């Protein structure tokens, strides 16, 4: 199952800099682990925003929920999730 997920991050201005740095490092490591596992095959920045558009390939909505819930930045994010289906005009497939 493919899902497009828009993630908008809003870190508190008064967040301890050490906590911020640790959380960002954990987020990067976790996201790269999911990318290597094939669960997070695409990630793009949204220009001019602290946000990204990502594609997840998972076996179920429950798996997607758990992957997102485990993001170190989850508590600082607003998520928009859209299930994706193949388009009949797609020449790739």
Q: Residue 44 falls within a domain, yes or no? A: yes
Which CATH number fits the domain that encloses residue 15?
Answer: 3.30.70.1060
Q: Residue 63 falls within a domain, yes or no? A: yes
Structural domains of the chain, count: 1
Tens-place pLDDT, residues 33-88: 999 999 999 999 999 999 999 999 999 999 999 999 999 999 999 999 999 999 99
How far are the Cα atoms of 29, 77, 93 from residue 69, in angstroms, in the given order? 15, 10, 31
Domain limits at 39?
Answer: 2-84
Query: Does pLDDT of 92 surpass 90?
Result: no
Query: Does pLDDT of 93 surpass 80?
Result: no
Q: Is the dihedral of CA 70, 71, 76, 77 positive or negative?
A: negative
Q: Residue 34 falls within a domain, yes or no? A: yes
List beta partners, residue 6.
53, 80
Q: Residue 11 falls within a domain, yes or no? A: yes
Q: Residue 92 falls within a domain, yes or no? A: no
């Amino acid at each position: 199952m493919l899902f497009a997920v828009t993630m908008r991050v809003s870190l508190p201005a008064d967040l301890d800099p050490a906590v911020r740095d640790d959380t960002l490092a954990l987020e990067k490591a976790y996201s790269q682990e999911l990318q290597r596992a094939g669960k997070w095959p695409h990630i793009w920045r949204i220009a001019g925003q602290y946000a990204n558009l990502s594609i997840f390939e998972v076996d179920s909505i429950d798996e997607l929920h758990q992957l997102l819930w485990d993001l170190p930045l989850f508590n600082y994010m607003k998520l928009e999730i859209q299930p994706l289906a193949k388009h009949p005009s797609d020449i790739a497939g």
